[in-house]
Structure 1
């Protein structure tokens, strides 16, 4: 392990609990964030999964476009000053702004933007799946994504799709940030396109420059004075690994941190009564879910999946576990969209579950396992599920772990039950969550569609796939809406392998003197305009 640089050591010491005075204040030009880093595994935008790394990379890099955090139907310019969709809807042309510099000092060009997207497809890591869903591949990347000059990027759609979906993905996916191709390739090893180096480094043009990351300890970044929007007001942002809600609460009350993520429900409720603290929540498109692997013979039986669906205490979980984390929701399409059907009304029904299990040949239940992150609310949902499964004779052991252990097992399709969270984030389109949670165009193991959580569960429905594909390119909005509603009805009838329990709410607790900290539904919360009013 490398020795902590003096600047990081000094900064860490400044916010240390040891010897800190009561009612201390963090430095006025620094933002100190307490959060769990258990699911922070890599900084490489091509393979970075999880909301934590999305927020970090949103501040180290820039994207072509951004979504308005309040009106997520509104796409705003970023590196691209303008864009146009071709009349045949098969290509999008972006005009990039001039004068943008990477942290290295290299000029940012359309060639860098093209190379960055091509790299995602060539590496074929988790975040390539969304692009493959639009028909892009490693083989067609260079012909489909081109930069005819330094300020022009042309994306040609290999397959017919709604171009708005591609633009939404460019605005919300961390895979779409623009990398300094020269800097990355200077650190390439054995043809890895800089993957090893980017695990713990960055090559961006964003408002902050990465300094140091000590896993499960601390990550620091400092202001980029040459930022094209103007230098941020904050000189430094420091992320501290904290998994205990009580510790987060204590440090907020003492003034040792400015922002806390992942606090427990009782602690958040208590902090709402503190006049020096502000609690802010934003609804995201992701859902908390119970997922079953159809590769497991038990869950390949529709009746067993239906029994599990009847053994989830939706009301109890949402009333006792999910306040400040999520709101009751049982559909794969996010709340608030015109296509979203009313809740189906699933409830805990032990007699119905027992009957289904007996019909499936399990009158006495069976043994299984539930993989889950050790953080709240995941572990709390899993514990509730364990107890309700037992009511029907299902003996489920809970296996807590890190993001790599839990979602890694899911990506490898080597699990039985997982309590997780996923979806399309903030893309204001039904296809977003359906693509992530339901769609599975190729169920072979070697397809490795790891960012499709439907693929991870091995659940495949040719009928549902065909309807999703048809709806994606339907120009008539009323017909398209009806198709997306039909998808939800079919998923209900066929008992899909992922059962939503609650739609995500991201709750942050922060000091009252923080200004312009606005949580983003896509997890791309920007710190470039944040400051402290003291």
Structure 2
């Protein structure tokens, strides 16, 4: 056995693991196999900023939290409409659709050794609303608040959790949120409160620590470097098949390509399209695409008087080269889709067929008083395919006289400006879609019940753009309360038609497809469309 492998196999601390990882990179052998009992993942960790389920955002953290914590229920990765038991072995909705009662399993223990109870579950959900960070948004959209949460989310006994809905809603949507939202992870109340400082409910500590009951325990995390998760042998489903999961920050796609073929990593995520295409011809790896419910989009700020003009938004919609972008840029990143509701749902409408039409755009701009165009900015992450989409948009805007400067930056610089409503154009990715329900997409991209700056509805991208349609808001609210499924779907289709007619400020271009590359030594890995990919059953040759 090589020294590197010996270190990683026997080492229990971060130092030994990182020493091995460095040795794997620098070693000369062509095939540096990773240890059999460990999964080494190469990925870009730039957007992995917090592990606190109350405030952590982004797909990357979903995959981490799903393995450190348990949820009350889970969604079947092969059939998202099928809800599977997790911590809750049984659940029932009230006949009036105004409450959900869940019965928890007996004998589940946190990694601290404490028994998990319904009190922990109630406190975990209440904490999200009390802190009122990013992940409180889905719960607030149902009418929950810090004030009413203790009354509406409560333990009836050690194993029974009851959630009363403050407003009429589709109970399936609440169940889907419990299965998929990072905010629904169940925390060890005592462990978290032991690290509380100045009434923060453990928020500062949970940025870089965990207190869950999941199949893996967090051993160490170095931001933008490495994360180690070790098997929790007391896991209620039985110990995970792997002893350790190692996540490494490798932002360069070409480096990932070399490392997956050399055997330095077992799974590569976030690779560039050309490198993925090249690896499709490599017999040592498997390329696995997973369609997610989020969208790649162009967003306009209606706080900018130019974009508040419907004619200008309509012109911008005609200055996107949808066909060119989807053919040349999006393979392995996404599939063409121009509607806010994700592909595959009964309420989804066919694409409206938007296309690049420069003469029409020029005519609309002239009517709006901009015959020579204007100057603007495009904010975008520097990562593909987003930067490539922005470059294409910059070129097609110029055809109508719009001089757009690209401002590339970090997630905080791009989406932070969007949250502050201080931007012109953003090329981004988002739009809910974690829950397999039209309301998830429309809530994230379209819904905006209060357009005031003071509302700070930062997790609603409709609010970020300043798009506010009372008619659309009202129809979304009515649809989520409609008990008849056929009528509900018809209402969601009407929302999409209205959004098309009013020229919404966010224009989807493609639905996200995440493509990971796996070593053929890896078995049992099933990428989850909701990003909650579980690693408990993954094993290696």
Q: TM-score range by the shorter chain?
A: over 0.9
The aligned counterpart of 1:154 is: 162
What RMSD, in angstroms, separates the aligned Cα atoms of the two structures?
1.1
Distance 1:386 1:286 in 2: 23
| 1:425 aligns to 2:425 (yes or no) | no
The aligned counterpart of 1:446 is: 454
Residue among 80, 90, 99 paired with 1:82: 90
Segments of 4+ moved more than 3 angstroms = none
Matches within 5 A, 1:283-362: 283-362=291-370
Cα drift, residue 303 of structure 1: 1.1
Query: Residues 396-418 of structure 1, C-alpha deviation per residue, up to 9 Å, x if partnerless?
Result: 11111222222122111111111
Secondary structure (helix, strand or coil) at the match of 2:512 reads: strand
CA contact (8 A) 1:101 1:107 kept: yes
Secondary structure (helix, strand or coil) at the match of 1:312 reads: coil
| 1:113 aligns to 2:121 (yes or no) | yes
The aligned counterpart of 1:223 is: 231
The aligned counterpart of 1:13 is: 19
Cα drift, residue 20 of structure 1: 4.3
Distance 1:309 1:76 in 2: 41
Matches within 5 A, 1:31-430: 31-430=39-438
Distance 2:413 2:62 in 1: 19
TM-score, normalised to structure 2, is 0.96
Secondary structure (helix, strand or coil) at the match of 1:158 reads: coil
| 1:472 aligns to 2:488 (yes or no) | no
Query: Residues 98-133 of structure 1, C-alpha deviation per residue, up to 9 Å, x if partnerless?
Result: 111111112111111101111111111111111111
TM-score, normalised to structure 1, is 0.98
Secondary structure (helix, strand or coil) at the match of 2:81 reads: coil
| 1:528 aligns to 2:536 (yes or no) | yes
CA contact (8 A) 1:333 1:430 kept: yes
CA contact (8 A) 1:34 1:259 kept: yes
Query: Residues 369-418 of structure 1, C-alpha deviation per residue, up to 9 Å, x if partnerless?
Result: 11111211111111111111111111111111222222122111111111
Cα drift, residue 423 of structure 1: 2.0
CA contact (8 A) 2:365 2:373 kept: yes
Secondary structure (helix, strand or coil) at the match of 1:197 reads: helix
Secondary structure (helix, strand or coil) at the match of 2:214 reads: coil
Distance 2:12 2:394 in 1: 47
Query: Residues 40-91 of structure 1, C-alpha deviation per residue, up to 9 Å, x if partnerless?
Result: 1111111111000010000000000000000000000000000000001100
Cα drift, residue 282 of structure 1: 1.0
CA contact (8 A) 1:172 1:425 kept: no
Distance 2:406 2:124 in 1: 40
The aligned counterpart of 2:525 is: 517
Distance 1:263 1:213 in 2: 22
* Segment drifting more, 409-418 vs 161-170: 409-418
Cα drift, residue 308 of structure 1: 1.1
CA contact (8 A) 1:243 1:375 kept: no
CA contact (8 A) 1:61 1:177 kept: yes
Distance 2:521 2:435 in 1: 31
| 1:500 aligns to 2:498 (yes or no) | no
Distance 2:483 2:192 in 1: 40
Distance 2:28 2:354 in 1: 50
Cα drift, residue 302 of structure 1: 1.0
Secondary structure (helix, strand or coil) at the match of 2:278 reads: helix
Cα drift, residue 13 of structure 1: 2.9
Distance 1:144 1:528 in 2: 33
Query: Residues 205-242 of structure 1, C-alpha deviation per residue, up to 9 Å, x if partnerless?
Result: 10100111111111111111111111111111111111
The count of aligned residue pairs is 529
Distance 2:51 2:406 in 1: 29
CA contact (8 A) 2:342 2:433 kept: no
Cα drift, residue 163 of structure 1: 0.4
Distance 1:212 1:300 in 2: 47
Cα drift, residue 170 of structure 1: 0.5
* Segment drifting more, 426-435 vs 501-510: 426-435
Query: Residues 244-293 of structure 1, C-alpha deviation per residue, up to 9 Å, x if partnerless?
Result: 11000000111100000111111111101011100001111111111111
Cα drift, residue 470 of structure 1: 1.0
Distance 1:370 1:175 in 2: 31
Cα drift, residue 444 of structure 1: 1.5
Change (3 A) 1:399 1:510: same
Query: Residues 152-194 of structure 1, C-alpha deviation per residue, up to 9 Å, x if partnerless?
Result: 1000000000100000010010000101111111111111111
Distance 2:233 2:244 in 1: 12
CA contact (8 A) 1:513 1:532 kept: yes
